[in-house]
Amino acid sequence: MSGSPDVVIIGGGVIGCLTAYYLTLRGARVTVVEMTGVAARASGKATGRLTPYFLGCEPDLLALSPATLALHAQLKHDLPEATGVDYGYDERPYLRIARDEQGAETLRVWQSDRRSEGVEARWIEPAEARSLSPWLTEDFVAALECNFEPTLDSFLFTTSAWAVAKMNGARLVTAQATGLKTDGRSRRARGVRISDGSTIPAETVVVANGAWSGGAGEWLGVDVPVRPQKGQLLILSDEATGKSPVGIIDIEGKYSIKPKRLGGTFFGSTTENAGFDITPTEKARNEMVAAMAGLSDRLSASNVITHTACLRPMTPDGKPIVGAVTGWEGVYLATGHWSKGIHFAPVTGKWLADMIADGESEYDLSALSPARFAGSAGAMLPRP
C-alpha cells in the first residue's frame, strides 16, 4: 500500500490530534478525517482544567492522572517550542470551598483521599481563603488550597498538537466518515469510506470522534455505548472585576470559577442530557448566573461576554473507551472521555501510538478497554 497513510483517525478533537501528534513522532503516516474543523467542537470550548476530580474520582482514572500530567508537563515545553504558540499552561492554585459543616466534612474526606494518593491539599480557614481571593463571598465555612490542577487554553492546546502533527506530515480531510473498507468479508481494516464516496486507505483506523462515536457501531457490528451529554458555560470579561488570583470550586464540584492566564474567566458548567442539541439556553444561563453570585459577589450577568454549549461523550460507567475493538484487526476506539478529555488526551494518544507502532506501552490502559462491555446488557454487544 505504498503512498497510503498508515493510520486514519476519525475525529479532529483533542484525542484525535494528540494521537496524531504522538504517531507522527514515531514516523507514522496519518490522516485525520474531521467533519467540521480541528477543535471545532467540545475540545475547543472546554474549560481546560487538568484534573481527574470533576464530579467524581474514578479509581482507574486517578491511577492514570500522574502519567498524563507528566506528559502535559513535557508538552508545555515541546509544543510552544515547535509552534511558537503559547497555549496558556498555568499552575494557578484552586480553592475548594464548603458552605456548611456537612460540606466541611466532605472536604476533610476529599483531603484525606488525596493524601492517600500522595497529593497534599492545605486546609485553610475562611479569613485566609478570602485573603487569597477577595472574589469569595462570605457564605462559606472552610476551604482547601490545591496546587495540582493546572489549566490551559483547550483550543490552542489542541490546535498546537495538530500543528506539530501537520509539520510531521499528517494531513486533514474535511469529510464525514461513513464506514470501513475491509478485505472482503474479513474484519481487517483497510481504510475509511468518506462522504464523497471515496476511500482513504489505511492499515489502522482510530475512532475518536467524541459524542458521535456511537455511530461507528453500525460499521463495526457492535453497539458502542457512547452518548452525548450537553455542557454549557459562561466566559466572563476581566475588565470590570480584574482576574481572580486563584480558581474557586464549589465543594459539590458542579460549578467553578476558572481564570485563564491568556485572558477571560470561565464559569460553569452544566450537565444535561439533551441528545445532540448544542444550543445555549436561557434557563442554563440563569442557573449559572445565580450559582456564580453564590460563589462570588463580584460577578453578575453583566460580566458575561460569551455563553457556549458543547457535547461531551459519556459512557455507562463514566470511564473512557480506549483500546482495540474485539473481533477486528487494526481498529481502535478512543472515546468517552466526558469532561476529562483535555486532561487524559496525552496518555491516551501516547498509548495508542505505542500500541500501533510497537504492540506494547509503558502505560496500562487495560481498565479502559472496550472488552469490558462485552456481554453486558445494552452495551458493546454484537448487532443482530
Is there a contact between 162 and 38 (Cβ–Cβ < 8 Å)? yes
Mean pLDDT of 362-371: 96
Higher-pLDDT residue of 242, 134: 134
* CATH number where 180 lies: 3.50.50.60
Query: Is 242 found in the same domain as 197?
Result: no
Domain containing residue 305: 94-146+228-314
Alpha helices in 182-337 (DSSP H): 217-220, 282-295
Place of cell 465555612: 141
Average predicted confidence (pLDDT) for the chain:
92
Is the residue at 82 inside a domain? Answer: no
Q: What is the pLDDT of residue 201?
A: 94
Same domain? 158 vs 32 = yes
Alpha helices in 134-281 (DSSP H): 154-167, 217-220
Rounded to an integer, the average pLDDT of 34-48 is 95
- Polymer length of the chain: 384
What does the pLDDT read at residue 241?
Answer: 66
One DSSP character per residue, 207-248 reads E--GGGGGGGHHHHTB----EEEEEEEEEE-STTT---SSEE
pLDDT of 297 strictly over 90: no
Asked, for residue 384, whether it belongs to a domain, the answer is no
307 and 328 inside one domain = no
Shared-domain flag, residues 233 and 307: yes
Q: Please give the grid coordinates belonging to residue 342.
A: 483535555
Same domain for 289 and 329: no
Whether 240 shows a pLDDT value over 80: the answer reads: no
- pTM for this model (two decimals): 0.94
User: Per the structure, how many domains does the chain have?
Assistant: 2
Q: Which long-range contacts (CB under 8 A, 24 or more apart) does 283-287 make?
A: 284/232, 284/309, 285/232, 285/234
* Whether residues 220 and 322 fall in one domain: yes
Residue 140 is assigned to a structural domain of this protein: yes
What DSSP designation does 164 have? H
**Would the pLDDT of 79 be above 80?**
yes
Identify whether residues 305 and 324 lie together within a single domain: no
* Residue 381: band (very low, low, confident or very high) from pLDDT cuts 50, 70, 90: very low
Average pLDDT, integer, range 292-317: 92
Judgement on whether residues 254 and 296 belong to the same structural domain of the protein: yes
Residue labelled with grid coordinates 458552605: 99
CATH number of the domain to which 123 belongs? 3.30.9.10
In a domain, 266, yes or no: yes
Same-domain check for residues 271 and 125: yes
Do residue 307 and residue 348 come from a single domain?
A: no
Last residue in a domain, options 266, 283, 314: 314
Q: How far is CA 304 from the centre of its chain?
A: 24
Q: How confident is the model at residue 2 (pLDDT cuts 50, 70, 90)?
A: very low
Of 314, 336, 359, the last residue of a domain is 314
Least confident span in 26-40, 74-88, 206-220, 249-263: 249-263
Question: Alpha-carbon distance 80 to 82, whole Å?
Answer: 5
The pLDDT assigned to 376 comes to 45
- Yes or no: say if 226 and 321 are a contact pair by the CB < 8 Å rule: yes
One domain for residues 207 and 237? no
Cβ contacts of 198 within 8 Å, gap of 6 or more:
none
Let me know whether 139 and 188 are in one domain: no
Matching residue, cell 445555549? 280
Residue 131 placed within a domain: yes
CA dihedral (189, 379, 54, 37) positive or negative: positive
In this structure, are strands 304-314 and 247-250 parallel, antiparallel, or unpaired? unpaired
Question: Which domain-ending residue is among 268, 293, 314?
Answer: 314
Q: What is the pLDDT of residue 277?
A: 95
Q: Where in the chain does DSSP place strands (E)? A: 7-10, 30-34, 94-98, 122-124, 142-146, 171-174, 177-182, 189-194, 199-201, 204-207, 227-236, 247-250, 256-259, 265-268, 304-314, 321-324, 331-335
> What integer pLDDT is reported at residue 382 of this predicted model?
46
Least confident of 35-44, 179-188, 324-333: 179-188
**Which residue from 308, 307, 290 is spatially nearest to 299, judged by alpha carbons?**
290
